[in-house]
């Protein structure tokens, strides 16, 4: 077991390194840099000497390998450096926005689980009946509707029926939970719909597989009520892949947030990402992408290890 864990841990190192190198190279390949963007927005005729000095200050004049080693050295010590745009530490800039995005993400996950587990189960149990068809159409729609458009439609409906507009200021949860929840539930719903669709489909397909296992037949043969067969025997065994997909989607929620935060006027990680792209704020982008990828890899690793703990066959393969 320990050997397996070590093996998996060692395997993540090249992946992490690959991610770091790729992020770094991609950003250096982008046309234009932060200094240009900054002075172009000033609209003034800035003398080249000033631009050179600014580039030197940000370390952009050094060869790319040197820049990379400096950056990765800092990251390994937990120092992500400073935003090239605001000049403040990256960890500070991310920190002030993380609370909001994380809360939306957690609320979306809870919503998704709450919707997906019962729907997926019903869909599998009543396979090929109208119940299944309706649920499948609802969940395939979830994958089709763009979350940012769903957000706009939600705002529109709230405006028509409740004369509610998304507030311009974010209220932290511990300051005023009611205000906070009424503000964030809608973006959570907008990104949560797609999320719940993914989980519903996973729940349905794994449950269908599990329901064909021998032990389900045994449970039925010994006269167990169907409800108990489904809840105790089938659902429990179907949960693992469902949890995996939930975890991986969680890491990728940033993708949904990137567009949804724009619609709801939320100043979170997603908006920070889009803003940093247009500002060519490389240090910020490196940190953000690395953060998301590390989350994804970590969740993947935890899931793999969990599988190994629960299913001894995996360990010896």
Partner 1 sequence: MSALPDIVYRVPVRRHPVVTFMQRQPLGAAGLIVILVMIVAAIGANWIAPYDPLAVDYANLLAAPSAAHWLGTDSYGRDVLTRIIYGARTALAVGFLSSILGSVVGAIIGVASAYFGGKIDLTIQRLMDVILSFPIIVLALAVSAILGKNIVFGIDANLIIAIATPMVPTVARVVRSSALAIRELPYIDAARVAGYSHARIIFRHIVPNVTAPFLIMLTAFVGQAILLEASLSFLGLGVTEPTPAWGLMLTGAAADFYQQAPWMIVFPGVAISLAVFAFNLFGDSLRDWLDPKIKL
Question: Is residue 250 a contact residue for partner 1 (CB under 8 A)?
Answer: no
Quick one: 80 exposed, middle or buried, by C-beta within 10 A (0-12, 13-18, 19+)? buried
Buried b (16+ CB within 10 A) or exposed e, 18-50: ebbeebbeebeeeeebbbeebeeeeeeeeeeee
Q: Segment near partner 1 (CB under 8 A), from 13-21, 60-68, 80-88, 219-227?
A: 13-21
Q: Are 23 and 31 in contact (CB under 8 A)?
A: no
C-alpha Rg value of the chain to the nearest Å: 24
Bridge partners of 89? 82
Which of 246, 293 has the CB closer to partner 1? 293
Question: Is residue 22 a contact residue for partner 1 (CB under 8 A)?
Answer: yes
Judged by CB under 8 A, which of 2, 29, 44, 76 binds partner 1?
29
- Within residues 117-146, the interface with partner 1 by CB under 8 A covers 133, 136-137, 140-141, 143-146
Question: Is residue 156 a contact residue for partner 1 (CB under 8 A)?
Answer: yes
Question: Is residue 96 a contact residue for partner 1 (CB under 8 A)?
Answer: no
Question: Is residue 148 a contact residue for partner 1 (CB under 8 A)?
Answer: yes
Which of 130, 174 has the CB closer to partner 1? 130
Question: Shortest CA distance to 201 belongs to which of 137, 105, 110, 276?
Answer: 137
Q: Are 177 and 134 in contact (CB under 8 A)?
A: no
- Binding footprint of partner 1 on the chain (CB under 8 A): 14-15, 18-19, 22, 26-27, 29-31, 133, 136-137, 140-141, 143-146, 148-149, 152-153, 155-156, 159, 205, 251-252, 254-255, 258-259, 262-263, 273-274, 277, 289, 292-293, 296-297, 300
């Amino acid at each position: 077991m320990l050997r397996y864990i070590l093996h998996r841990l060692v395997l993540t190192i090249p992946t992490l390194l690959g991610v770091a190198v790729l992020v770094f190279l991609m950003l250096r390949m982008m046309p234009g840099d932060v200094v240009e963007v900054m002075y172009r927005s000033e609209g003034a005729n800035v003398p080249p000497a000033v631009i050179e000095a600014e580039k030197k200050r940000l370390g952009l004049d050094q060869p790319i390998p040197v820049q990379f080693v400096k950056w990765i050295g800092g990251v390994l010590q937990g120092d992500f450096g400073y935003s090239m745009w605001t000049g403040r530490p990256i960890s500070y800039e991310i920190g002030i926005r993380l609370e909001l995005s994380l809360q939306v993400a957690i609320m979306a996950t809870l919503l998704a689980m709450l919707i997906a587990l019962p729907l997926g189960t019903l869909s599998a149990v009543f396979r090929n009946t109208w119940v299944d068809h309706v649920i499948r159409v609802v969940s395939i729609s979830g994958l089709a509707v763009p979350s940012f458009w769903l957000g706009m439609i939600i705002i529109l409906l709230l405006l028509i029926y409740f004369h509610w507009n998304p507030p311009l200021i974010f209220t932290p949860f511990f300051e005023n939970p009611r205000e906070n929840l009424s503000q964030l539930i809608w973006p959570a719903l907008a990104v949560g719909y797609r999320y719940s669709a993914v989980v519903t489909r996973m729940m349905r397909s794994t449950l269908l597989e599990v329901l064909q296992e021998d032990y389900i037949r045994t449970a039925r043969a010994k006269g167990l009520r169907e409800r108990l067969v489904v809840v105790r025997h089938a659902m429990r065994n179907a949960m693992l892949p469902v949890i995996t997909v939930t975890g991986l989607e969680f890491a990728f929620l940033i993708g949904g947030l990137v567009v949804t935060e724009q619609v709801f006027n939320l100043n979170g990680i997603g908006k920070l990402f889009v803003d940093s792209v247009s500002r060519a704020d490389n240090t910020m982008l490196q940190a953000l992408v690395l953060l998301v990828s590390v989350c994804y890899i970590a969740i993947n690793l935890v899931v793999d290890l969990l599988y190994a703990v629960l299913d001894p066959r995996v360990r010896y393969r």
